[in-house]
Amino acid sequence: MGDPGPDAVKVTDLCAGIGGFSRAVQMAGGRVVYAMDRNAAAKPVYDANRGVGAELSTRDLYTSEMWEELAASGAGMVVTGPPCTESTSARLVRADKGERREGRAALTPLLVHQLTQMQMPLVVLENVVSIESMTRGQEAFALARERGYHICFLRLYASDFGPPYQRRRLFVVMARGGTEVRDALAQMSLQFPQWTAASRSAV
């Protein structure tokens, strides 16, 4: 993709993986100025497809260096899709294989806490729908509201957007601002595609 220009929105992609969210940002006209994922195996693929965006940093969310790099990037928006295995039915299968990793379900609350503490203007978070009803998720989003954020929850079936499988996802948009921001998020929720019985039965 070409250079979005000097006026493009500066965006950070946390838990970037091989770059799906970064790709979406670039398609929307944004510039990825910082991207990280602790999995070093993702770096060659991410960097090969990053276009004019930043190279992938193999930092860890639990290190101060990562947050310092994020602050120094000048990004005004963060997109993130943290690993969520412990919040899904897949965790039961992996637990039987001895592969369960403790701590993944804590990544979303950690991100919400840190990003709202640093007053990031706009955050878009993708996860499983159950995170909205989990105690840790509810506490994290309540904290975000206390810190002045308006929040919009957008739920979708992946099959409504082309993929031939049933997978429910939750997108959380958190934004700082006054009534204009609140009203814009409310309107976004109304305009977002709704789950349809036809799309689910066709998969």
Q: Catalytic site residue 152? A: no
CA distance 88 to 57: 27
Active-site pick, 18, 54, 77, 84: 84
CA distance 125 to 104: 15
CA 56 to each of CA 14, 67, 99, 109, 188: distance values in angstroms, whole numbers, following the listed order: 10, 15, 26, 23, 31
Q: Are the C-beta atoms of residues 116 and 153 closer than 8 Å to each other? A: no
Terminal Cα-to-Cα distance of the chain (whole angstroms) = 32
Question: What ranges in 118-178 are assigned the alpha helix state H?
Answer: 135-146
- Residues with a catalytic annotation lie at 84
